[in-house]
Amino acid sequence: MTTVDLLDVPAAARWIAARGPERIIAELTDALATDFRRWPELDKRPRVASHSAEGVIELMPTSDGVTYGFKYVNGHPVNPLRGFQTVTAFGVLADVHNGYPTFLAEMTLLTALRTAATSALAARALARPDSRTLALIGTGTQAEFQALGMRSALGITHVRAWDVDPAAREKLVRNARSLGFEVHEATSGADAVRGADVVTTCTADKRNATVLTADMLADAAPGVHVNAIGGDCPGKTELEASILAAPGTAVVVEYEPQTRIEGEIQQLPPDSEITELWQILTGDAPGRTSPDQVTVFDSVGFAVEDWTALRYVHAAMLADPAARGLLQQVDLIAEPTDPKDLWSLVSAEVLQPLV
């Protein structure tokens, strides 16, 4: 019998707490860097999305010809008002040579870790190395992970936090202080951005919003890096278009065909000059070219990041005997003795009643 390793939510939470979220984000950042540098070898496509009035459900697949992976994920901004999570997800790895699944994992927690690691990777490539202050506009489920990612990548020590929801803002302030950050509870988005070296926008509304303007950004530190991660579907943006179009601003994305549909660059002409992150990591394109240059990472989340996260987590847990014990084995693969006789698995059951 061939079984599939299963990582459920309680086991994932225990493993993350034991290994340490910041350590995981740092290790995952390095794993992402390795996979982004072999970007041309990977099977890539925009995610498959099913939109509704309430939100979106998406499938995100990729492969390197040896290991296939996909993530199922939803995004429903109205969910918290109904007692549900905005985002939930699970992911699967499979062997390409026979198509058998090998790993099934929750990916709500893992998505937060991989999003923070992707932000950290981009910041490592684009932000000023002396950056110490992070502004967070949007302090929901991603916020603590984003702060840890920026600390692991840049040594961020100060967080300036703003959210239109006071409860979310207070939650982030409480948690960030417990994690060792100096925290300023901002009175507005403009107040949060003032003096910041890095600005992360992560809001949930599914609309063309403007939570960061060029005037706000003018009060940030010179050479600010903008980490725009909230825009992730058609018609959903966070940045004023003039930020992206400003002369000298470097705009970097994960996978341009997907980001043209879903990201901040929806607002730009189709022929606007855009760089993909892998090109900077391989040296095929420049990153930051001066200390005062404004850089923007327009991140919508891409399947390669989830595939990397699944592979990293599975390998890390298998290499640690204590962590391996958290994995369950589930029988998902129908394997009759004769591969052509699938009926043999049910024929005995057909002859015997359940009770």
Strand pairing category for 4-7 and 328-330: antiparallel
Looking up tokens 């992560």, which residue turns up? 202
Which residues lie closer than 8 Å to 246 by C-beta, 6 or more apart? 214, 294
As a residue count, the chain comes to 355
- Rounded to whole angstroms, how far apart are CA atoms 150 and 134? 8
| Residue carrying structure tokens 């549900």 | 84
Residue among 5, 197, 232, 298 flagged as catalytic: 232
Q: Which residues pair with 7 in a beta bridge?
A: 105
- β-strands 158-162, 89-95 pairing: unpaired
What is the rounded distance in angstroms from the CA atom of residue 52 to the CA atom of residue 31? 34
**Cα(115)–Cα(113) distance, rounded to whole angstroms?**
5
228: nearest Cα among 193, 176, 279: 193
d(CA 72, CA 48): 10
Q: Which tokens sit at 57?
A: 């459900």
* Sign (positive or negative) of CA dihedral 223, 224, 229, 234: negative
163 assigned to active site: no
Question: Per-residue DSSP letters for 214-248?
Answer: HHHHTTS-TT-EEEE-S--STT-EEE-HHHHHSTT
Would you name the residues annotated as active-site residues?
Answer: 232
